[in-house]
Structure formats: structure tokens, C-alpha cells
Amino acid sequence: MRCVAHILNLVVQDGIKKVDKPVEIIRWAVKWIRQSPSRIGKFTKFAKLVNSGTTKHLVRDVPTRWNSTYRILNITQAYEKTFERYDLEEYEFRSDIEKAGLSIPSPSDWQHVRHLCHFLKPFCDVTERISGTLYVTSNTCIEDIYSIRTLLDDAISDSSLCDIALAMRVKFDKYFGEVEKMNLLLYFALILDPRNKVKYLVILLEDRYGKEKMEEKKKYIMDSMYELYNDYIRIHSPSTTFSTTGSNNSSSILGKRQNPDATTPKPPLRNKLREKMKTNIVESIGELEKYLKESVEEDSSMFNIVDWWKVNSLRFPILSLMAKDLFAIPVSTVASESVFSTSGSVLDPYRSSLTPNIVESIICTQDWLRGGISDNIDFEQDWENLQEIDKEKLVRLIRARIGYGNECGNVKMQD
């Protein structure tokens, strides 16, 4: 299973390269301002003077991660008037940016950045959604992929986004252009969502490939799904063979009594039924066919797909096992990779003397805090409060050191 978040990163990176100049200007300006506390302080003061309407602080991006580039563009576009005021008040800012071979962002550059942010917002939403760990992601991944393709097709008709969308679609089609290139488990997970089933699959395929190719793509997906379902039946279905010892004993016991039906002639149809029972030919509908023939569930915000399959596991014992395995597949490795990369932000050249127990405590506490904090909290709104807390901590530290120095001086005088 390829990481969908990484593929989206490659897709968007190819598009951002087409607008490298405005991105490079903003990236350099943010880096220059964040180089010293005095510059940050002046920028904050100018932001209040021009009433920028936001309290978010400037952040630097990682060029290899497009969502961080989107974040820096989305934050700085709200500070357009602040950058203009900063340019007027600080000659050094203009001088250094010209020495770097760049220029102050123009109104057209800011307009282009806003247009780009609006275009990249759905990509950021999809990346965050598929990177979640507290809910199922495999059942909605195909829908997200098809929505991205529709977005790229619509953007090609926009003159300001045409070059970007064309470059992104080439990379997108490399991984998601055809059904045969994609992991079919994502389609199976889509079908096993009782709100979708095959009906929604047909809608997606018809919208993407047209009516002519839709049936071909559908048959390819369903044939593969039935193969997987038959494998689950072969592995998990109970044995249909019965012990012959018990039946022989019961027959011998019953044989001691006179069977009243023994002397009556058996109808021909009853004989056919007996023959079918002997050969274990039982006509029944499979779980997958039964599931697909039922009506789809109502789509609501309170619907929980895991609970639905838990409740209906008695009706679909084999199919529920298949659904459980498919829904457990993570479509992104971002969450697992971030766990192993956390140590790099804890142990750095300036904090390399921490004991293993302290490092373990810091990483575990960070994970617990993130797991218990709501996504609706905006830490950037409390930036000024956090700065005040840092100042108070610094004052307490200085006072503690001064008090410790006085104590050491008194001890030396006594000696």
C-alpha cells in the first residue's frame, strides 16, 4: 500500500515549482524577520498598527513538505499591509532582499498567493484527513482521490492555474490514473461501507471514465473482490463435514423399532430431496451477494462504520472479518513516521545531555497531551500569553541564580 499522503506531496510539489518566485520571496522574507527577536517585535507592532486582523505568528516551512509551504503562504497573505509598512520603516529589509536577487512582494504577487492558497486548501484537507489515526481512512480514500482529480480538471480551465494543474495532473495520473495502477483494497473498503456499496462505485467510475469504460472497470474490481471473498471463505468458514459415528449409533437404535414410514411408498419428489441432502447441495445466497442486494444506509454525521459491522457481524460472519482487515489498513504512513522523528526535536545539539528516562518522559507526555487535546483549540491565539509566561519563567530563573550567587559569596566570606 503506497502512502497516499506522500503521493499527494509529490503531486503538489510539481505544481509549486511553477510558481517558485512568489514562494521564494515570501520564504526569504519570513526567514529574515524571524532571525532576531527585535525584528519579530517590530513586525508584531506594525501588524497591530495596520490592523492586520490576525494574531497568527510567522512560521518557517520545510521545502520538502508542501503542507508546511501552504501554511506559510496562508499565514503571510493576511500580513500584506504589514509587510508594506515594514518595507517603509525598515530600509535594511529592502536592502537585504535586493542583495539576495529578489524583490518586495507586489500586489500581483499577493493576489497570486491568495489564489494558490485557495486552490491548495482541498489538498491540505485531504492530507490531514487521510493522516488521521483515530478513525477509519481506507473507506473514504477513493472518494478523496477522485475529488482531487475533479479539482485538477476544473483548474486546467483557469488561466492562472492552468500550468500548475497540468504539471500536477501528470504526476497524479502516474499513480492514480487508472484502476489497474491503484491498490484494489481501497475500492473494496469503499464497497464495504454500507453507505456506498456498488451504487456509489458506479457513480464514481462513470464520472471518471464514462459509461463505456465504467462496466469494464466495475467488472475488474468486482471480480477481484469476489476472489478475495472466496479466499476468506476458504480460510474462515467452519467445516461442513459431520461425524458419522453419532449418526450410525442413532440409526442402530432407531433400527430396533419399527418405522411406520418403512412400509409406505415414498413419493418421487421426496426421493429427490433426500438425494440433494445426501450430496449436501444447499442452494443459498452468499454473504457478499446478500450485503450488496440490501439498501444502502443513510449517510449521517452520527454514523459509525465500525459499530455497524460490529452489530451486523452475526449476519455477515465472514464478510465482517474481511471488512475488519480492510478498515484497519492505514492509507498514510505520516502518523507512524512522525512518532520516530519526534526524538530529533527533543535531542538536538543544544539539548544532548538528557537522560534516557527524561527523553522517554518528554515523548510520552507529548503524545498524551496531543491525544487528549481537541482539534478546535488554536494555540496561535494564545501566542501573547505564552510569551508572557516565558518572560515570567526567565525572571524567576534570573532571581534564582542571583540568590544562589549570594549564598555562595556568603559561604566564601565565612571561610
Question: pLDDT digit string (tens) for 338-395?
Answer: 666 655 666 666 566 777 787 778 777 777 776 655 444 454 555 566 666 667 767 7
Give which of 175, 115, 122 is closest to 148, Cα–Cα: 122
Distance (Å, rounded) from C-alpha 296 to C-alpha 190? 12
Distance (Å, rounded) from C-alpha 81 to C-alpha 105? 11
Q: Could you tell me the pLDDT band of residue 284, with boundaries at 50, 70 and 90? A: very low
- The residue-averaged pLDDT of 222-250 equals 70
Q: Which residue has the higher pLDDT, 241 or 218?
A: 218
- 8 Å CB contact between 297 and 303: yes
Highest mean pLDDT: which of 94-108, 220-234, 348-362?
Answer: 220-234
Q: Which residue has the higher pLDDT, 163 or 253?
A: 163
Tens digits of residue pLDDT in 22-76? 888 888 888 898 888 888 888 888 888 888 888 888 888 777 777 888 888 888 9
Distance (Å, rounded) from C-alpha 383 to C-alpha 67? 22
Lowest mean pLDDT among 171-180, 197-206, 234-243: 234-243
Specify which residues 348 forms β-bridges with: 351
Q: Tell me, what's the pLDDT at 249?
A: 43
Highest mean pLDDT: which of 150-164, 308-322, 365-379?
Answer: 308-322
Q: Coil, helix or strand for 188? A: helix
Helix 66-76 crosses helix 107-130 at what angle (to 10 degrees)?
Answer: 130
Q: Could you tell me the pLDDT band of residue 240, with boundaries at 50, 70 and 90? A: very low
Provide the grid cell at 153.
480538471
For the chain, percent of residues with pLDDT exceeding 90? 31
Q: Tell me, what's the pLDDT at 169?
A: 93
Q: Could you tell me the pLDDT band of residue 144, with boundaries at 50, 70 and 90? A: very high
Q: Could you tell me the pLDDT band of residue 411, with boundaries at 50, 70 and 90? A: very low
Q: Could you tell me the pLDDT band of residue 16, with boundaries at 50, 70 and 90? A: confident
For the chain, percent of residues with pLDDT exceeding 70? 75
Lowest mean pLDDT among 77-81, 203-207, 333-337: 333-337
Q: Coil, helix or strand for 320? A: helix
What pTM was computed for the model? 0.69
Distance (Å, rounded) from C-alpha 221 to C-alpha 178? 12
Asked whether residue 317 carries a pLDDT value surpassing 90, the answer given is yes
- The residue-averaged pLDDT of 127-134 equals 86
Q: Given phi > 0 = left and psi -120 to 50 = alpha, else beta, which region is 154?
A: alpha
- The residue-averaged pLDDT of 5-34 equals 87
Q: Coil, helix or strand for 191? A: helix
Task: Please work out, in degrees rounded to the nearest 5, the angle formed at the alpha carbon of residue 392 by the alpha carbons of 386 and 394.
Answer: 105
Q: Tell me, what's the pLDDT at 198?
A: 93
Q: Which residue has the higher pLDDT, 159 or 231?
A: 231
- The residue-averaged pLDDT of 175-186 equals 91
Q: Which residue has the higher pLDDT, 356 or 108?
A: 108
Eight-state DSSP code of residue 381: G
Lowest mean pLDDT among 23-32, 280-289, 312-321: 280-289
Q: Tell me, what's the pLDDT at 285?
A: 64
Task: Please work out, in degrees rounded to the nearest 5, the angle formed at the alpha carbon of residue 21 by the alpha carbons of 15 and 24.
Answer: 95
Q: Tell me, what's the pLDDT at 403?
A: 64
Q: Could you tell me the pLDDT band of residue 268, with boundaries at 50, 70 and 90? A: low
- The residue-averaged pLDDT of 321-341 equals 81
Average pLDDT in the chain: 79
